[in-house]
Amino acid sequence: MTLEILTSTALRPIRHGFFTRKGGASSGIFAGLNCGHGSSDQTEAVALNRRRVAEALEVPPDALVGVHQVHSPDVVTVEEPLTERVKADAIVTRTPGIALTVLTADCQPVLFADPEAGVIGAAHAGWRGTLAGVLESTIAAMEALGAERGNITAVIGPTISQRAYEVGPEFLDAFLAEDPEYDRFFAGGEGDRAMFDLPGLSLHRLREAGVREAEWTRHCTYSDPDRFYSYRRSVHRGEADYGRLLSAIRL
């Protein structure tokens, strides 16, 4: 099966892709293009899936650069492929031939580009990382490489949407403690539950940070099991594990 790669015209001409689960070698609950070595999937299947991604991006497999994601605001600047997995949640570079990657299964993959400066970035942005400032940290790290935030485009890929993201009152309280105006990113749910708009919050923060353009592809990971892995959906189904989607950008 052919790989399905979602792209955004806003990031062109920079090479990039939000890969769905279609076209992979994994089976069972991981069926498709599971690219997460952190899953309990067969190592050989994950490696083959990652090779297929590398081929699609026209880079060698060791040029797929990722980090050990820990829901932080930390960013790594790379000039060559990493030899070890650094704990962080975003990566930036101005080196051609390196594909910056993030793995997600409901959290947001966010790809950044300043084509004029030749600087790119990729961030893993769940609610913790977003609240901690990973998006703003990525922009600042790109500026340190010569980018201008007014020339940066940021695109949020497939992520869990508000209609599928039910949270408890303590979750809402944490956001209101950060900024009372964040209540606009919550809608009423059943009982004391609320529905959280993660991409809405991130688009707000990206625009407040002054980027040229910010958009979401409007794909919901939870609601489309044929195309996307979802941590929350796997929990609701009682599955033992879940696959990881890969998103990447390269110069």
Instruction: Kindly report, residue by residue over 79-115, the tens digit of the pLDDT.
Output: 988 888 899 999 999 999 999 999 999 999 999 999 9
Instruction: Evaluate whether residue 235 is within a structural domain.
Output: yes
> What pLDDT score does 190 carry?
87
3-state secondary structure of 21: coil
Instruction: Evaluate whether residue 131 is within a structural domain.
Output: yes
Instruction: Evaluate whether residue 209 is within a structural domain.
Output: no
> What pLDDT score does 188 carry?
87
Instruction: Evaluate whether residue 66 is within a structural domain.
Output: yes
Threshold 0.95, pTM exceeds: yes
Confidence of residue 152 (pLDDT cuts 50, 70, 90): very high
The mean-pLDDT minimum among 40-49, 92-101, 129-138, 187-196 falls in 187-196
Taking the C-alpha atoms of residue 143 and residue 123, their distance in angstroms, rounded to an integer, is 15
> What pLDDT score does 189 carry?
83
Instruction: Evaluate whether residue 187 is within a structural domain.
Output: no
Instruction: Evaluate whether residue 210 is within a structural domain.
Output: no
pLDDT of 1 > 80? The answer is no
Mean pLDDT along residues 47-51: 97
How many domains in the chain?
1
Domain that holds residue 148: 5-159+216-250
E strands in the chain: 5-6, 15-19, 64-65, 75-77, 90-93, 99-104, 108-114, 119-125, 153-156, 166-167, 186-188, 194-196, 213-216, 245-250
Mean pLDDT along residues 120-130: 97
The CATH code of the domain that includes 32 is 3.60.140.10
Instruction: Evaluate whether residue 186 is within a structural domain.
Output: no
